[in-house]
Structure 1
Amino acid sequence: MGTAVATWSPVQWPGLDGAPRARFSLAVVGDVCIEFRTELADRSFTELTDDHLGYAPARAIVAGTAVNLARHAIGYFRSITVIGKIGDDPFTPIIRHCLRDLGVADRLRVEAGVPNGFSVMLRDRPPAGGRGVRLLVTGTEPPSRRLTEADVRRSSAALERADVLFVDGYSLLSPVSRAGMRAAVRVARAAGTLVAFDLVPHDIDRRLPLDDVLPVLADADVIITEAPTVAGLLARPVPREPAGARELLPALDRTLSRVTDRTPLWLLRFGATDLENTLAYRRDRLLLEYSTGYRPGMLRTGYGDRLAVSELYWWLSRV
């Protein structure tokens, strides 16, 4: 497999700060929650041996995989729809107002009598040249895990109108939301809508058997992931060099060929912190290899979403 290092890439155009002209329509199916974010600014988690009190900026935001992606997509896509399920409590109007203020269409189903989902994200101080550690704790039964096939089909028109549907692996973690997400994919594919799948969580191999993941990969047109995530799913050593990351791609194809003859576009992240570079690959051919612009020490939160929406815009502009 030859190497095709890009002289022109999505990072150069449209770039990571928005496109010169918003185009295309995007539908996103995923988590919607209230997230509390802060950092352990003065040390790493490994340095803690006892109780510790730290001071750092802390905030509560409307978040979740669907909202996080939509927030970064508004500079690229002319219309964005978020499809999901939320709870019924004082945070519900805050969530709806947030989407309205972003200019995002709200196709959220409300589950009466249950609270909204909550998560806490805490990052530690990264070591020199390293990525640091993100501690993410979520509620055990958020409403998003109960997004049903019937819920999704009520938004079929939005899925059929979209140029691209974006889904992620967190929906696979519950049988209910897994069925809902796969229903969204079926509606989209029947309408000719491009399907993009974010292969997360990064420890998905510890949470689900490969056979539960393969059917969704088989239905996707674009799959975004990181080299260690793929290595874990394929029960292979985590690659430490670029050549090792490249070798994962044919292995992915061989594994996927067990369930489909389709050839998705793989966007595989790799590097010192698994975010520095992208390999764009389709069956037996490395299409592009490019730097994402990420460097250790840069703000990691949201960078992957910025990168994903710029890449989707770039590829849609080429077809």
Structure 2
Amino acid sequence: MAGPGHERSGTLTIVGDVRLDIRSMLPAGALADTAADTDLFAPMTLTVAGTAANLASFAVQHFAQVNVIAGVGDDFATAGIRDHLQRLGVGQHLFGKPGHANATTVILRMGDGARVMVSSDPSPNHLLSVEDIDTVAAVLAASDLVFTEGHFLRGAASRPAVHHLVDVCAGLGVPVCFDLVPHDLAGFVPLAELAPLLARCSVAIASAQTAAALLGRPGAERQDDGFAWWAAEQLTRVVGADTTWLIRWGPTNIEQVVSSRPGAAPRAYATGYELAAEKTAYGDRVAAAELWCWLNKVDLDAAMLGHAGGARGQDG
């Protein structure tokens, strides 16, 4: 992605998942025979990742200050996680969870086809508590925008914590962006339960796949923007608030975005994903630019997205 083309400004605080990613590219069909043990040899990478770490790595291009609030384990990887965030130059507010390993995801891609992803569960982030959130109230108060995400809704401790986070930010007058991940979010949190939470958020991000499941139409998403427009309208109706919806759609749920907010003309834009040389964590690349633009009330442009198409207005 090209440089942002603007002066860095504002403070973004990210309350999200930090984990290790182990990635490997395998030949197409390498795991087709699952009935027998298979030994494979392929290049592998080990990186600090997760929503918080990935988003922070791109947000530092746009925001003058970026903070990360997350739960971490107490194993050998913790020092590496802290070093990684320090190199990024972000403020660290990490809550160690004794007796718990850091979260890990193994990602295997077969050629140009589908991926197999296995994530450790539970994660230290599932132990983030209401008390932890209260500890960082001053950090939240000094923020221009707070970002958080749906993985916290999996944990018995972190579910009330993320609700408390949104309440605290609302009381402080700090806007919140909520990312509706993972894609199977509807399987453990129905839209009726999410709606009051999202009504207190200023921005919500969802893939067309996630939106379809939440709206009771799993598999209804199509590879054109018709469903994305419809989903944004329906989510606005159900949530009933002045929330800006960013609905991602396309073959891999990132190629296109529909942006919709009550009282404003809806817009659609390409993200440049197809042209990107590096596609890993591309959704976080786009989100970092989108959040800066939302905060500064400007439209995304080609310089931010790193492709010629730019964002385009479109009537819904």
Q: Shorter-chain TM-score: what band?
A: 0.7 to 0.9
- Mapped to 2, the partners of 1:249 and 1:298 lie a distance apart of 30
The residue matched to 2:21 in structure 1 has which SS? strand
Of 230-239 and 280-289, more deviation after overlay is shown by 280-289
Counterpart selection for 1:223 from 192, 204, 208: 204
- Mapped to 1, the partners of 2:117 and 2:137 lie a distance apart of 32
Superposed CA offset, 1:244-285 (max 9, x none)? 22122221122223xxxx210011111233211111101265
The residue matched to 1:77 in structure 2 has which SS? coil
2:68/2:92 contact within 8 Å kept? yes
Please give the residue correspondences for 1:196-207 in structure 2 after superposition, counting only pairs within 5 Å.
Answer: 196-207=177-188
Q: Which amino acid aligns with 1:105?
A: G
- Mapped to 2, the partners of 1:228 and 1:16 lie a distance apart of 28
Aligned to 2:44: 58
2:75/2:101 contact within 8 Å kept? yes
Aligned to 1:10: none
Pair 1:72-2:58 in alignment: yes
Q: CA deviation at 1:22?
A: 1.2
Q: CA deviation at 1:82?
A: 0.7
Q: CA deviation at 1:52?
A: 4.4
Pair 1:253-2:236 in alignment: yes
Aligned to 2:157: 176
1:279/1:286 contact within 8 Å kept? no
Aligned to 2:14: 28
Counterpart selection for 1:92 from 78, 82, 95: 78
Superposed CA offset, 1:57-80 (max 9, x none)? 312111221111111111111111
Q: Which amino acid aligns with 2:184?
A: D
Pair 1:239-2:218 in alignment: no
- Mapped to 1, the partners of 2:125 and 2:44 lie a distance apart of 24
- Mapped to 2, the partners of 1:39 and 1:87 lie a distance apart of 28
Against the structure 1 CA distance between its residues 311 and 149, is the aligned structure 2 distance closer, same or farther, given a 3 Å change threshold? same
Aligned to 2:314: none
Structure 2 residue runs without a partner (length 5+): 299-316
Aligned to 1:158: 139
Against the structure 1 CA distance between its residues 273 and 85, is the aligned structure 2 distance closer, same or farther, given a 3 Å change threshold? closer
Please give the residue correspondences for 1:232-311 in structure 2 after superposition, counting only pairs within 5 Å.
Answer: 232-236=213-217, 237-257=220-240, 262-283=241-262, 285-295=264-274, 299-311=278-290
Q: CA deviation at 1:157?
A: 0.7
Of 162-171 and 187-196, more deviation after overlay is shown by 187-196
1:17/1:75 contact within 8 Å kept? yes
Q: CA deviation at 1:116?
A: 1.9
Superposed CA offset, 1:110-168 (max 9, x none)? 12233222221222222xxxxx3232212222211000010111011111111110001
Pair 1:210-2:184 in alignment: no
Q: Which amino acid aligns with 1:125?
A: G
Superposed CA offset, 1:191-221 (max 9, x none)? 2212111111112122322233222211210
Runs of 4+ in 1 over 6 A off after TM superposition: none
- Mapped to 2, the partners of 1:45 and 1:194 lie a distance apart of 46
2:148/2:177 contact within 8 Å kept? yes
1:231/1:239 contact within 8 Å kept? no
Aligned to 2:105: 119
Q: CA deviation at 1:243?
A: 1.8
2:66/2:90 contact within 8 Å kept? yes
Of 276-285 and 149-158, more deviation after overlay is shown by 276-285
- Mapped to 2, the partners of 1:150 and 1:308 lie a distance apart of 28
Identity percentage of aligned residues: 35
- Mapped to 1, the partners of 2:149 and 2:7 lie a distance apart of 26
- Mapped to 2, the partners of 1:216 and 1:301 lie a distance apart of 29
Aligned-residue CA RMSD in angstroms? 2.1
Counterpart selection for 1:143 from 121, 124, 135: 124
TM normalised by structure 1 equals: 0.85
Against the structure 1 CA distance between its residues 46 and 118, is the aligned structure 2 distance closer, same or farther, given a 3 Å change threshold? closer
Counterpart selection for 2:291 from 287, 312, 315: 312
2:14/2:69 contact within 8 Å kept? yes
The residue matched to 2:106 in structure 1 has which SS? strand
Aligned to 1:187: 168
Aligned to 1:39: 25
Q: Which amino acid aligns with 1:255?
A: V
